[in-house]
Amino acid sequence: MGGNDQETIRAVLSGDKEAYGSLVAAHSRLLYRVAYRITGNEADADEVVQDAFVRAYRKLETFESRANFGTWIYRIAVRCALDKVAGRKGEDASRVAEAADPEQDEVQLADASAGPDRLLLSGEIAALQQSAMHCLTPTERTAFVMRHMEDRSTDEIGEALGIKPNAVKQAVFRAVHKLRRRLAPLRVQA
Amino acid sequence: MNHLSEEELVNHVYGDGADAIGTHIDECAPCAQAYAELQRDVAELRCIEPPEPGEGYEAHVWNAIRYGLPAYRPRRPWFSTSGSAALWPLSWFAQPVVRRVSYAALCAALTAGAFYAGRHWDRPGARTETANTKLATPQPRQPIVVVVLGDHLDRSERLLVELKHADVESADSIAAPLRDEARSLLAANSVCRKNAEQEGSDPALKSALDHLDHLLNEMANQPGGLNADSIAKLRQEMESDGLLFEVRVLRSRVRNGHTLIGNRSTGGTV
């Protein structure tokens, strides 16, 4: 894949624009997945993927041949998604305020046993988590997604976000702390 | 014993904690309980699974962006002709690091070239000096020296002829031109004499230049300037020494190339 990517990039830089389509085909699904996880909806994820490929195309001359195109475009997509989330921060703030209604947190189910109740709890947790994700800052949300869901290392996250590893750890910690606090009302001691 | 903070526990859950944290958890019951609860909560944090984008998603993305992308202008390296191999140097030079290094190398080469050229720019003088002292065969420079010496002798002959036929009654009108020409020739004659002595040239040349030097010196530095009496005296001195004849003979020999006075050093720096 990597070797083919290098040949394709050379072809694109020599004027064969259509060759870029094969790079899009090879990496668009992976980018869509991370973009969706960070943005939280299909429309924004789709927009992020397109934006990432356009940005990468324009910077293709600066791409170092010894690097991996997949890693490079992944970082670009993360940055695009971060920008997208940061851009709608005001919109999310109002959504979080609605979700913070105490009455919504009154769903309390036991968490000690499996079975139908447990499955219902899982659905509730997923729904509330989805909502709680909006209370995270863009950096916390992106760092958490990459660490918890994409299983990326601290260094990889730092490179993608342009921050130091310690800042990544703090961002992940703050995200986990906020999410635990938001999900705590769902639990009662068995 | 201090208990672990929540941040340390979170880092440990994700594998970023130090080994000492694991040891502490094994030994500290409250921290072990807090860690277990954290593990449970983190495990319940679900991964967001995006909906499947569906078949043809790749084509959808490509079609959405392809018309807005300008094609890169193909640039072929000057030293290659065609084919994919020819594109390699282009992409190689397109790399920012390689480009910077190339620019730096080009600047260094230009600086070194300028330094080298500057060193050799001053060499002509040094080469002349070396040739004057070391070369045994004067042939390459001889035509130039003969012309210079011949020119000096021509001018000296004309001055002497003017002196010989000068009208002493109108000395005031010719005194200044004669003096100026004598001063001009005096400097050139001095250099010729010096070179003739260094090179061991024809004795006739050295003798003539000595006589000429004496006469020119008197013409150029006559106290109170030239007048009828001083012109008459100089003319008499010139004729008694046979200086005009000597100069004519030497000039003729130089012109015909039959003399040792064509030595490159004689008048070489005139």
Q: Using one digit for the tens of pLDDT, what is the confidence trace for B24-43?
A: 888 889 999 999 999 888 88
Mean pLDDT of B96-119: 84
DSSP SS3 for A109: strand
Domain boundaries, position A58? 1-87
* Residues A26 and A10 placed together within one structural domain of the fold: yes
pLDDT in tens, A50-107: 999 999 999 998 887 778 899 999 999 999 999 998 887 655 544 444 444 444 443 3
CATH number at residue A163: 1.10.10.10
Domain count, chain A: 2
DSSP state of B136: S
The residues near B228 (Cβ < 8 Å, ≥ 6 apart) are: B168, B169, B171
d(CA A28, CA B247): 100
Does residue A36 sit in the same domain as residue A109?
no
Residue A189 has pLDDT above 50, yes or no: no
- From the list A101, A102, A120, A99, the residue with the least C-alpha distance to A111 is A120
Domain span at B219: 135-262
Residues A99 and A72 in one domain: no
Query: Does A82 share its domain with A93?
Result: no
Q: Is B66 in contact with A20 (Cβ distance < 8 A)? A: yes
Mutation for A interface: B4, B12, B16, most A CBs within 10 A: B16
Task: Tell me which of A39, A68, A87 is where a domain ends.
Answer: A87
Residues A54 and A74 in one domain: yes
Domain presence at residue B179: yes
A78 and A100 co-located in one domain: no
Same domain as A121, residue A62? no
Helix (H) or strand (E) holding A188: strand A187-188
For residue B107, pLDDT beyond 60: yes
Chosen domain end from A71, A87, A103: A87
Instruction: Give Dmax (Cα) for chain B.
Output: 136
Give the number of beta-carbon pairs within 8 Å between A and B: 131
> What's the farthest any 2 CA atoms get from each other in chain A?
66
- The mean pLDDT of chain A is 82
Q: For residue A24, give the nearest of B42, B61, B92 by CB distance.
A: B61
- B47 contact residues in A (CB cutoff 8 A): 37, 148-149
What is the percent of chain B where pLDDT is above 70?
Answer: 76
CA gap A183, A177 in Å, rounded: 10
Alpha-helical segments (H) within chain A: 2-13, 20-39, 42-58, 69-87, 89-99, 116-132, 138-144, 154-161, 165-183
- In a domain, residue B78? The reply is no
How far does A63 lie from chain B, in Å, by closest CA?
7
Q: Look at residue B225 and tell me whether its pLDDT is greater than 90.
A: no
The answer to whether the CB atoms of B62 and A36 lie below 8 A apart is no
- HSE-up (13 A, CA, CB side) for residue A99: 17
Number of domains in chain B: 2
CATH number, residue A53:
1.10.1740.10
Q: For B62, what's the count of Cα atoms within 13 Å in the CB-facing half-sphere?
A: 17
- Pairing between β-strand A187-188 and β-strand A109-110 as defined by DSSP bridges: parallel
Query: Are B23 and B139 within one domain?
Result: no
Strand partners, A187: A109
Alpha-helical regions (H) of chain B: 6-13, 19-27, 29-44, 57-65, 84-94, 96-121, 123-134, 142-164, 171-199, 203-220, 228-241, 243-256
Cβ B71–A15 below 8 Å, yes or no? yes
- Do A120 and A60 have their domain in common? no
The closest of B95, B102, B243, B46 to B164, measured between CA atoms, is B243
- Residue from B44, B63, B76, B88 to probe the interface with A (highest A Cβ count within 10 Å): B44
Q: Are residues A135 and A58 in the same domain?
A: no
A28 Cβ under 8 Å from any chain B Cβ: yes
* A27, A72: one domain: yes
For A139, counting Cβ atoms within 10 Å of its Cβ (0-12 exposed, 13-18 middle, 19+ buried), the class is buried
Inter-CA distances, A93 with A96, A98, A132, Å:
5, 9, 11
Look at residues A32, A61, A87 and tell me which one is the last residue of a structural domain: A87
Could you give the angle at which helices A165-183 and B6-13 cross, rounded to 10 degrees? Answer: 100
Closest-CA residue of A relative to B58 is A25
pLDDT tens digit sequence for A4-25: 888 999 999 999 999 999 999 9
From chain A, the residues in CB contact with B66 under 8 A are: 17-18, 20-21
Does residue B144 sit in the same domain as residue B254?
A: yes
Separation in Å, CA of A90 to nearest CA in chain B: 23
- Check residue A80 and give its pLDDT: 95
The closest of A19, A26, A21, A13 to A60, measured between CA atoms, is A13
| Separation CA B117–CA B24 (nearest Å) | 73
Q: What confidence score (pLDDT) does residue A147 get?
A: 93
Question: CB A61: neighbour CB atoms within 10 A?
Answer: 15
Q: Are residues A74 and A162 in the same domain?
A: no
pLDDT of residue B170: 74
DSSP, collapsed to helix, strand or coil, labels residue B122 as coil
- Put simply, the answer to whether A129 touches B16 (Cβ < 8 Å) is no
Predicted confidence at residue A153, as pLDDT, reads 92
Do A18 and A30 reside in the same domain of the chain? yes
CA distance A136 to A140: 6
A130 touching B (Cβ < 8 Å): yes
Is B99 exposed, middle or buried, given 0-12, 13-18 or 19+ CB atoms closer than 10 A? Answer: middle
- Please state, in angstroms and rounded to a whole number, the distance separating the CA atoms of residues B267 and B132: 12
Q: How far apart are CA A99 and CA A94, in angstroms?
A: 9
